[in-house]
Structure 1
Amino acid sequence: MAPVDACPQDGAGALSVEMLSRFAGPCPRYTSYPTADRFLPLEAGNSPAEPWRALRGSTSLSLYVHIPFCRSLCYFCACNKVITQQYGLVSSYIDRLLEEAHWYRDKVADLPVIQLHLGGGTPTFLTDADLRRLVSGLAEVFNLHPPGQVEYSVEADPRTLDPETLETLRELGFNRLSMGVQDFDPRVQQAINRVCDERSVANLTQAARACGFGSISYDLVYGLPHQSADTMRATVKKVLQLAPDRIALYHYAHLPARFKAQRLIDSDAMPSAQEKITMQLAALEELGAAGYQFLGMDHFALPHDELALAAREGRLRRNFQGYTLMPADALIGLGASAISYSADGYWQNHHRLKDYVERIRACGSAAYRGWTLSEDDRLRQHLVMELMCRMRLDKSDLADRAGGPFEKRFAEELRRLQPMFDCGLLRQDADSLYLTEEGRWFARNAASAFDSYLHSEADTGRYSRVL
């Protein structure tokens, strides 16, 4: 958690530039606990030799497929991607994906798949024929429930998405669409090499609704070159006219030392930390006025959306794809860099496409690192996810899990959280510890206080800033 000085004097708990500034330091995003950067080679240390064995004890399954290919390079992107115009490479990759899927056949028995997600890269880089080949191939291995009973989601680049492909995706059962809008300002788009006409986004949104997508989400990013509070407000207003069901408002982490593509961005055009915070506040004001409900982290939804309803009812959950209302006991990730999860722990595939392909051809699996969950890990995993999803902790429940009083078991963690208590972001009573209305924006900070690995070392530079 970022160091914090005394609280603002204009009212404890007020969501302001000053308050946001004080808690804006590097912090994990907690799509898992422990976080993926802790994983070890499969044959070493705290990594399980065969974590997939625990799949047989699961009752439900999520399926993630990573499609890394893109037609052009977006300078801001930190995803695992391959820029190519050679479609033969893509078709061959699908063959490897399906080989990997077959490697899991006897490990998952007849487990029902309640969530399928295509991510990337750009999943809609695939031709319609290969989309059909991929889904039908997965159905030969996995027990895919009928469309409408499960969540089939896909990420798409609106610059290259055809309305015909939307029809194909619906035929295959996909019911949730996420489009990477990022920003509508032409100068910002030029600076990140991602020029996207807002009329195309509007037409695709209309077409997706017409063919039956139940939920449409836009990704927006603040902190990009040439952005300001005024340009951010203008983009959000244009987005609100299209009324997507969900909006993800991400903070751009400029880390050119780690991500080569980001070196192509003019550093002189980058906004200051203070300017980023004013952008965030401008966007939040517009989203709140339009009736969007804050779900947690950087996600918002209209009140009618299933995620918003799940958040209000305390049913929201979180996995590597973000917030979900369909948590499964286990997750299988297929493709380069994909991460899987079972009751025993995590395992991850090779990042580089060449390494992934070679390993699949050699033995059917590309897993190379992972993590075995200890009993303490399981306790903290539950605790972190409760904070990230429900914004509160049940002391009695945690005392039962920890085998002792909450205040005694987590005395050091409560000391770390004192600045959040002092600022009115956290409160507690005899039954629970909970984030206040303003504190919900700082769930990552609260969760990080319970991260035993984060506080066992001084290095926090590996994480993006909260804001």
Structure 2
Amino acid sequence: MASNRLDSAPSRSSDTPCIRGSSGSLASGTASEDLSPELLARYAGPCPRYTSYPTADRFTPLHADREARVANGSGKPWEALRDVSSLSLYVHIPFCRSLCYFCACNKVITQQYGLASSYLERVLAEAQWYRERVARVLVTQLHLGGGTPTYLNDGDLTRLVRGLGEVFDLRPGEDVEYSVEADPRVLELETLDTLQTLGFNRLSMGIQDFNPEVQRAINRICTPQQVRTLTDAARARGFGSISYDLIYGLPGQDVQSLERTIDKVIELAPDRIALYHYAHLPHRFKAQRLIDSDLIPSPQAKIDMQLAATQRLTNAGYRFLGMDHFSRPEDPLAAAADDGRLARNFQGYTLMPADALIGLGASAISYSRDGYWQNHHGQKEYATAIAERGEAICRGWSLDDDDRARQWLIMELMCHLRVEKRALELRTNTPFRQYFAADLARLRPLIADGLIRESAQDLVVTERGRWFLRNIAAAFDRHLHTGESAAQYSRVL
């Protein structure tokens, strides 16, 4: 992936400071006006990103060729694929040519291209396993992530998409989204031509920071001119949406240097921007041990960076959608946020929600209305499983009625910033305040801090609360407060 985000395999520490708050309230106003460093610091602790509910650290052992028994029942969630009317596809391509020290993604650093070619054969074999298990319905979203998906040469990119088309209904056009994550250091213009021919219409580039000193500290050297050339070329080829990933809290960053990066980004005018907080977990991710921890900015400096970057982006006309995401006001993502069409999946906010997602490749996660299932993480385990069974499923989760109700509530808050109590009562067949009594008690400090408002009819996230969607959602996470997990979630700020 382009950043070090922990969407697919979130983790958390034994404590849960993500729902701490004060007993006092602050004056109402816009998010930029009434955010204080003290408020940001209060909610800056570890917290899930809620690209799924329950989060992936809750998944339990699961196997496709025998009865699938999971923590809260039994069933095979992929059986629901026969009934879907729309589908998303994700393909994980883990290969990279060089190591970025900050990265926490599932990756393989190699110059031996044959490894990637062999991996591609296994991915296509896995796709075949789904041929008799999924309805032949339109794929509304295809996403290539990594690693570096454009590590694949143009011939193999073509082989991949055409191979997927033999199993799934791929019909490129304006009504579907084909997106790819790219490393601007190695993306060739000829590859943009290939991607455009294959129907890709959205490009995401990992920028992180333009400061040469920061780039050296994370081993990722990329010039603004490289990014400008690729941005202009992608637009000329008809890519309708171009997004940049940026990270704050990297070694050697300060407010002034980040502001200079933001200014260059504003000049390049991407359609969307994801501004992620760097999660420094060297005990968990070996590559991060190559970073000098003494160069990591202090928590207060990170908060100052977040405030300064957001102020600069909003002053330049970008819309703050919530969490880490910004878009230009004319981008369809902003329109979707305005009229209630915004959705969320493992790739973040999206315009193209589907009934189910099939994830292909090592560590990829899939979901259906009945639950989640995830592939083996390691290359060896993935290859062995595909050779023996045609699939590589190792763990997952079967949703019960409580999970479904909370899943819906959390996604409503994160995408639409409002949830109707009556809608939850119909789902739970119980009065809202009775069913969610413990959750509302956890929510009181956030209400007092003006992050969310409660009325007799609904819960509404405030402008200030957009910054703390993860914290608000965490109040309703039953598993976070009742289950044990050895994982560590990334910090909110």
The corresponding residue for 2:381 is: 355
Moved more, 44-53 or 254-263: 44-53
The corresponding residue for 2:65 is: none
State the alpha-carbon separation in 2 of the partners of residues 18 and 135 from structure 1: 49
**Helix, strand or coil: the match of 2:181?**
strand
Q: Does residue 3 in structure 1 map to residue 20 in structure 2?
A: yes
Q: For the Cα contact (< 8 Å) 1:188–1:225, is it kept in 2?
A: yes
The corresponding residue for 2:285 is: 259
How far 1:292 moved relative to its partner?
A: 0.7
Q: Does residue 30 in structure 1 map to residue 50 in structure 2?
A: yes
State the alpha-carbon separation in 2 of the partners of residues 217 and 15 from structure 1: 26
RMSD: 1.5
Q: For the Cα contact (< 8 Å) 1:175–1:214, is it kept in 2?
A: yes
Q: Which amino acid aligns with 2:118?
A: S
Q: Does residue 402 in structure 1 map to residue 419 in structure 2?
A: no
Q: Does residue 310 in structure 1 map to residue 336 in structure 2?
A: yes
State the alpha-carbon separation in 2 of the partners of residues 49 and 194 from structure 1: 44
Q: Does residue 452 in structure 1 map to residue 478 in structure 2?
A: yes
State the alpha-carbon separation in 2 of the partners of residues 377 and 50 from structure 1: 16
The corresponding residue for 1:248 is: 274
How far 1:410 moved relative to its partner?
A: 1.0
The corresponding residue for 2:216 is: 190
The corresponding residue for 1:83 is: 109
Q: May I ask how many residue pairs the two structures share in their alignment?
A: 467
Q: For the Cα contact (< 8 Å) 1:4–1:419, is it kept in 2?
A: yes
How far 1:296 moved relative to its partner?
A: 1.8
Relative contact order (C-alpha < 8 Å, sep 6+): which is higher?
2
State the alpha-carbon separation in 1 of the partners of residues 483 and 208 from structure 2: 34
Q: For the Cα contact (< 8 Å) 2:279–2:490, is it kept in 1?
A: yes
How far 1:460 moved relative to its partner?
A: 8.2
1:261-410 → structure 2 map (5 Å cutoff): 261-410=287-436
The corresponding residue for 1:103 is: 129
The corresponding residue for 2:88 is: 62
Aligned in 2, Cα 1:158/1:48: closer, same or farther, shift over 3 Å? farther
Q: Does residue 131 in structure 1 map to residue 154 in structure 2?
A: no
The corresponding residue for 1:204 is: 230
State the alpha-carbon separation in 2 of the partners of residues 425 and 53 from structure 1: 40
How far 1:430 moved relative to its partner?
A: 2.1
State the alpha-carbon separation in 1 of the partners of residues 299 and 326 from structure 2: 23
Q: For the Cα contact (< 8 Å) 1:101–1:138, is it kept in 2?
A: yes
Q: Which amino acid aligns with 2:354?
A: A
The corresponding residue for 1:465 is: 491
How far 1:458 moved relative to its partner?
A: 6.9
In the TM superposition, what whole-angstrom CA distance separates every residue of 1:302-326 from its partner, at most 9, and x where no partner exists? 0111111100111100000111111
Q: Which amino acid aligns with 2:80?
A: A
State the alpha-carbon separation in 2 of the partners of residues 83 and 210 from structure 1: 32
**Helix, strand or coil: the match of 1:108?**
coil
Q: Which amino acid aligns with 2:477?
A: D
Q: For the Cα contact (< 8 Å) 1:48–1:370, is it kept in 2?
A: no
Aligned in 2, Cα 1:428/1:9: closer, same or farther, shift over 3 Å? closer
In the TM superposition, what whole-angstrom CA distance separates every residue of 1:380-400 from its partner, at most 9, and x where no partner exists? 000010111111111111111
The corresponding residue for 2:241 is: 215
Q: Does residue 160 in structure 1 map to residue 186 in structure 2?
A: yes
Q: For the Cα contact (< 8 Å) 2:85–2:135, is it kept in 1?
A: no
Structure 2 unmatched runs, 5+: 1-17, 63-67
Q: Give TM-score scaled by structure 2 length.
A: 0.92
How far 1:10 moved relative to its partner?
A: 7.4
State the alpha-carbon separation in 2 of the partners of residues 454 and 435 from structure 1: 21
State the alpha-carbon separation in 2 of the partners of residues 10 and 395 from structure 1: 26
State the alpha-carbon separation in 2 of the partners of residues 442 and 302 from structure 1: 21
Q: For the Cα contact (< 8 Å) 1:2–1:24, is it kept in 2?
A: no
State the alpha-carbon separation in 2 of the partners of residues 48 and 152 from structure 1: 34
Q: For the Cα contact (< 8 Å) 2:123–2:361, is it kept in 1?
A: yes
Q: Does residue 40 in structure 1 map to residue 40 in structure 2?
A: no
Structure 1 unmatched runs, 5+: none
State the alpha-carbon separation in 2 of the partners of residues 6 and 235 from structure 1: 37
Q: Which amino acid aligns with 2:204?
A: S
Q: Does residue 443 in structure 1 map to residue 466 in structure 2?
A: no
Q: Which amino acid aligns with 2:44?
A: A
